[in-house]
Every structure is written in C-alpha cells, then in structure tokens.
Structure 1
C-alpha cells in the first residue's frame, strides 16, 4: 500500500505548467507507481474538507484499495483550509497537501497538483461535495475500458442539476453555445465542456504546456493534450451544503478570454506562431503598452511646450516627455508584458538593470525609426505618413525582440 509517511506540506512546483510523462521521484514513498491521483483544489473550504477526504477515501478504498492518492492544493485560504487538511494526513495516509502562497486560480492549482502526483491516471474533483464522489468509480471504469479521458457530464443520461435558477441555466448553456462557435473542435467533442469533474491519462497530457484561465481546465486538456477516446458518465450537480459559492461574473469573462486565447494558440494562427516561434500574445501586450506611451508623450509635450501652459522649449519638452513615456512603458511592461520574468527578479538592482537596458534599446529604436523613415521615403514610398507608419512598425518589432532577449530574461535566480 502506498502511503504518505510524513505530514509535511508538498513543495509547490515552479516554471511552466507541464506534466511529466513519468511520475516525479518522491522521498517519502517506497513505491512511486500508483494508479490514480485525485486533485482537490480548495479555497476557504475549512467546513467541507474533512468530510470530502473521508467520503473520497471510503469510496476509493472499496474500489482500488491502496492504489490511489488524494492531493489537496489550497490557495493559502484565510480560514486555514490547508492546515485542517494537513492535520488529517495521519488518519488518512494516502492524503497529501500543498499550500500555494504565490499563485492563485483553480486551473493552475490542478496542474500544480498533477505535477507532483504519482498516478498514471490524473483526476480533479471540487472540494465542496457538489461533485458526487460515487461517480468516481464509474469514471475509473471508463478509463479501464480504454478511455483517454473520462468526464462527468450534466448533459447525458443520469445527469442534471439540482436547483439552479433559470438565469444560471441560461448562462451555462449560453457559455456552451458561445464556446461551440469560437472553438468547435474542442467543445464539440464533449457534452459538458464546462465540467470540472474528470480524469485523464498522464500520457495524454505529458509534455503539453497548459495555459489555463479561470476555472475551466478541461478546455486546456482537450485542446492541448493528445486525447483520442473520451468516455462520459452522467452526474447530478448538487448545491453546496457548507461554505460559499465561487461563481461570479469574472468566471464568465475568464471563460471567454480562455476560449479566444485557446483558439488563437491552437488554430491556424497558433500553427503559424509555432512555425515562426514568435510570442504573439506578449507582442500584443507590448504594443498596447506602447500606445499608452504615445498618449503620455503627447500629453506631456503639450503641457510642457504649449505657450498657454509652461511654454518650455520644444526640444527640452520632447526630451522630458519622451523619457517619461519610456519610464511609463517600462513600468507596464515589467508588471504585465514580462511579468513572468520580473516576478522572479524583484530586487531593486535587477529592476534598475532592466530599466537601463530598456532605455538604451528604446533610444536605439528611435534612431532606427529615423533611418527607416528616410530610406522608405527616399527610395520606396514618397509619402511621409506611410513611410512613418512603416518605420514605427520596424522600430516596435526591434524594441520588442531585443528587450525580450536582453532586458527581460531569467538571470541571477537562486
């Protein structure tokens, strides 16, 4: 029987959200290879977690005794859900607990749990008993029959919802229809793409870089994984008995964002991106930041140089406005465009180093802008406005690519 012989918290994985093709080595187990790992993502589930672990353990002990593990991944709940779960590990040796303090989000919590899981089959279930645990045995049966992914669905025989309002039913179905329009190749394969209750073979998602938004990890698994055979089992979605619901309007916005991003990264645009190896999403953010810099530059130039305001010389005003715009762009790029790198290098001297590089590269980009403008204007297109647009485009690509390679890169990380 595979058991956890220590009640220490699991270390939180870092880096890309990728699941390895083989279970990770673990110093606290004798046998690394187990059949099933079930992730329970939690946030403020103190009142539910003990009952969830008890019921899941009873269910799986009867079906696959000793060949499973439960992994609670808690997003540092203020009600100390992780601490309650950790206190249960002596009574339930198959239970392991992870406390995340730097990341947030249900979908990424699931993947982080899968990254430390030892099972050949990886699953996820809510931590609030809205997913009936007894359905696990039916899902595991589907997997044993050859499915790559087994899904608990509300929209097949035996499925449904217990007491949803008309509005919530409308929103759920509307989200599904919208998904079918935006991403038919993914959502069209299952009857309940909004489900968060499923299991998948490790081999089907091994090596794929998952990039989920919000709650709907299933979309990532089907869209980016190698999932061929899908089995579905009906279940009735129950209302929670303890704790508070996490469903808000933000989840629906995240869902739409996720659909669009998955569409762009897996469709024709995605294939083009893979061929040219160009980070289009990051470039779009860089471009939007650049537009904000143009606004800052124009406003400051007016306030500093206009006779009705300060009336400073135009050259001096432009220097101040331009440098302020560069500083504005650096702050936004550091906090948004390249946040995955900057959050790992937060020392003041590291930020200063990035800013100096950014400044020099932008000044070089300005020089490049002028050169391209003159070349296009004199030899290709004798129209100053079209030539200027081409020059701006070339300088923007230059600024982005060189900053990507030199300013925001992982260095000096212990």
Structure 2
C-alpha cells in the first residue's frame, strides 16, 4: 500500500464509477488502518474550506484518532479552493486533496473520492458548514450499532431548516412527492431522500457501477446498493455564511432525470416488501379511524344543510361545505392524535396552518384519485358500483395517509 507524501495531490480515478473492495491509494504514515473516509466535495469554497477541515479534524481526532481520512475533491475551483486545502495538509495529516480538471459535478466528485478512499465506512458532507459536523458522531454510532446506512435527516425529531423561503419549501415538497410516485421503493425508505449528509458501510456498494445525474447521490446509493438496515439522525440545516448557493433550476431537472433513470434500471417499484417494512401500521390505523369519524361528520353536516326539514341549502353547496368541515375534523384529530409526536414539535399557529393547507391539497388530490379508481374498477374490473367505490376509497385512503406522512407531518422548520 503506497504512502501519500506531504502536500501531494491524490490522483483522480478514471473509468467507470465503481467502488472496489478496498483502495490502495491512501493510508497514513503510521500505516494505521482507516475506518472512516469522509468526502468533502468542493467548488468555490475558499472561504469555508479551512473552517470545515479544522472542525472535522478536531472532532474526529477525539473520537477515532488516526483511523479516519478527510478527502477534499475539488472541481478546479477558480478561487483556488484546492490550493488552500493542499496547504492545510501539513497541519492536518489525515487530510487528502484531489483536484479534478476534466470532470465536473457533485455526485461524480463524491464517487471519485470514494474510489480513492481506504475506509470500510464511507461518507459525505458539504463544505459550506450547512451540515453541522457534530452530527457525524451520531451517524458513526448508528453504523457501529448495526446500520448499513446512516442518514442525517431534516424531517425527523431533532431536525429542521433554519430559514427557507416558501418557494424553496414548495419545490422541496414537490420534489419528494414526485419521487414517491416514481420510485417509492427507494424514497420511502428514508424521511429525507434529498439529504446530502450520510455515511454507509463500504460493502453496500462494492462492485456496483453508479450512474448519478445531478447531485442527489443518496438516491443512487440506496437505489443501486445492497443497503439493509437504515438509521436516521435529526439535524438542523443551517444557513450558509460564506460562498454562494449551488441550487439552481437545472438541479431539479437533473433530479427528475435521475429518478426516471433509477426507476427504469433498478425495477424497485415491484419490490413491495421494502415498502411494507417501512409502513407504520399503527399510525395508519389511527389515520383510518379518524377518516371514519370524518364520514359521520360529512353526513351529519350534509343533512343539516341540505335536508328540506332543516336549512334546505342546495345539494352541491351543502356537499362542498360538509366535505370541508370533514377535512377540518380529520386534520385536527390527526394533528393531536395520529401525528402528535410531530405536531408537538411545531405548535405555532402558522406551522399548523401550513400543515392544514397541505392536508387539504392532498385530500383534494385523493378525491381525484378516488374518482379515477372508481371509474376504472367499475368499467373494466368489477361492474358493481358499491364494490368499486369501496376499492376506490381504500386506494385514496392509503394515498392520503402515505403522502401526508411524508409531506404534511414532519419536522421542517426550527429556530
């Protein structure tokens, strides 16, 4: 195994994006076996690179001294990020630096770093300090306790985002919903599939040829790897202090392209067993009971508004009002019972209003799905309107629950 000389750059791997059993590219001067290799992809991060290297080194020197490596993979930044990182190698002996001049892209940069890494545990973290370094220790602990993959999530207890615009939140929710529809067997396994902060056991992707599009490397890891147990750790996504954001519209287009490519190449949609393992039956039963109460509320309000012996309002107007009252009933019960563990973390009226609006929109989509399934079943499968309606209700109920679970009741906004 060769030894990296001080201040020398790592050679850039070439060929297919495939992770080998082990790499002979890196080790430390004392031939201490590397346990953990953390990749830091960079582009124009001159203002952050010293800070992130210092914080990570201090943290890991205390927890796994001499058994880790930090690999900065820079896409030939015009601000000289790679040069600054290289100058830090004397002070931080666990630091390696790779300068890519013929390739571009965050996902491929991460994989090239993994190819050059020696650790049995591989990870990735952003260089902009939006990923709090201390969460690494919790992720490492999850791996040590048996997880194949440990993901830092913004959408479980202890997680959130400090300050996102409404448009960015809307785009994030829409992207996840689209992902659940296209690739449920992958996106349903984690609460934050858009996360770029995670680690996993090397053997999960050994021999797999990765083929990412855009910057969502976690999707590629789960979709193509042999990932068993997954653990999640909550973290707060912080605001950038230095440099500029890399999020653009093109990355959302790349994300959709990536989903479709994974769907066509992995066939995960047919593996319902993975979905069932992730399906929270107890919460679904509570959701179903709440939905049943909504039926009684709907019928009662419809009677009070439309019956000639009461108010005698027109039927259509009465049904719209009754339906909305039932939705409000269902939301309140779900908020204080079905998803109480999540809503208790976000008690402000604005947060509750956002959840209600999302719940309303999802239920509206569920109504459209209900009508479509009713007609399809009645016209092509079972020519019995009542049986077809029961099937349509069941499908719409699962839809409403699953999408609300993933998008409406989750921790996303913290101070």
Query: TM > 0.5 between the two?
Result: yes
Unaligned ranges ≥5, structure 2:
272-415
Q: Secondary structure at the match of 1:73?
A: strand
Identify the residue that residue 366 of structure 1 maps to in structure 2: none
The answer on whether the counterparts of 1:37 and 1:117 sit within 8 Å (CA) in structure 2 is yes
Give the alignment of 1:1-400 within 5 angstroms: 5-26=5-26, 29-31=29-31, 33-267=33-267
Q: Secondary structure at the match of 1:174?
A: helix
Change (3 A) 1:270 1:101: farther
The answer on whether the counterparts of 1:143 and 1:150 sit within 8 Å (CA) in structure 2 is yes
The answer on whether the counterparts of 2:148 and 2:201 sit within 8 Å (CA) in structure 1 is yes
Deviation at 1:24, TM superposition (A): 2.4
Q: Secondary structure at the match of 1:47?
A: coil
The answer on whether the counterparts of 2:4 and 2:26 sit within 8 Å (CA) in structure 1 is no
Which of 1 and 2 has higher RCO (CA within 8 Å, sep 6+)?
2
Identify the residue that residue 318 of structure 2 maps to in structure 1: none
Per-residue CA deviations over 1:318-365 (Å, capped at 9, x if unaligned) read xxxxxxxxxxxxxxxxxxxxxxxxxxxxxxxxxxxxxxxxxxxxxxxx
Deviation at 1:31, TM superposition (A): 2.1
TM-score of the two chains, using structure 1 as the length reference: 0.63
Q: Secondary structure at the match of 1:34?
A: coil
Cα distance between partner residues in 1 of 2:83 and 2:25: 25
Cα distance between partner residues in 1 of 2:25 and 2:96: 15
Deviation at 1:154, TM superposition (A): 0.3
Cα distance between partner residues in 1 of 2:212 and 2:149: 18
Identify the residue that residue 350 of structure 1 maps to in structure 2: none
The answer on whether the counterparts of 1:4 and 1:94 sit within 8 Å (CA) in structure 2 is no
The answer on whether the counterparts of 2:21 and 2:207 sit within 8 Å (CA) in structure 1 is yes
Runs of 4+ in structure 1 displaced over 4 angstroms?
Answer: 2-5, 25-30, 268-271
The answer on whether the counterparts of 1:158 and 1:234 sit within 8 Å (CA) in structure 2 is yes
Cα distance between partner residues in 1 of 2:260 and 2:59: 38
Cα distance between partner residues in 2 of 1:270 and 1:142: 29
The answer on whether the counterparts of 1:3 and 1:93 sit within 8 Å (CA) in structure 2 is no
Deviation at 1:5, TM superposition (A): 4.3
Cα distance between partner residues in 2 of 1:145 and 1:270: 30
Deviation at 1:25, TM superposition (A): 4.5
Cα distance between partner residues in 2 of 1:114 and 1:250: 25
Cα distance between partner residues in 2 of 1:232 and 1:249: 28
Cα distance between partner residues in 2 of 1:4 and 1:158: 39
Question: How many residues are aligned here?
Answer: 270
Deviation at 1:6, TM superposition (A): 1.8
CA RMSD of aligned residues (A): 1.9
Identify the residue that residue 382 of structure 1 maps to in structure 2: none
Cα distance between partner residues in 1 of 2:268 and 2:122: 30
Cα distance between partner residues in 1 of 2:12 and 2:242: 27
The answer on whether the counterparts of 2:27 and 2:34 sit within 8 Å (CA) in structure 1 is no
Cα distance between partner residues in 2 of 1:266 and 1:10: 33
Change (3 A) 1:29 1:207: farther
Per-residue CA deviations over 1:186-236 (Å, capped at 9, x if unaligned) read 001000000000001101110000000111000010000000000000000
Cα distance between partner residues in 2 of 1:189 and 1:173: 16
The answer on whether the counterparts of 2:213 and 2:258 sit within 8 Å (CA) in structure 1 is yes
Bigger Cα Rg: 1
Per-residue CA deviations over 1:9-42 (Å, capped at 9, x if unaligned) read 0000000101111232548645263110000000
Q: Comparing 3-12 with 88-97, which one deviates more in the overlay?
A: 3-12
Per-residue CA deviations over 1:87-139 (Å, capped at 9, x if unaligned) read 00000010000000000000000000000101110000001000000000000
The answer on whether the counterparts of 2:183 and 2:268 sit within 8 Å (CA) in structure 1 is no
The answer on whether the counterparts of 2:185 and 2:269 sit within 8 Å (CA) in structure 1 is no
Cα distance between partner residues in 2 of 1:37 and 1:171: 32
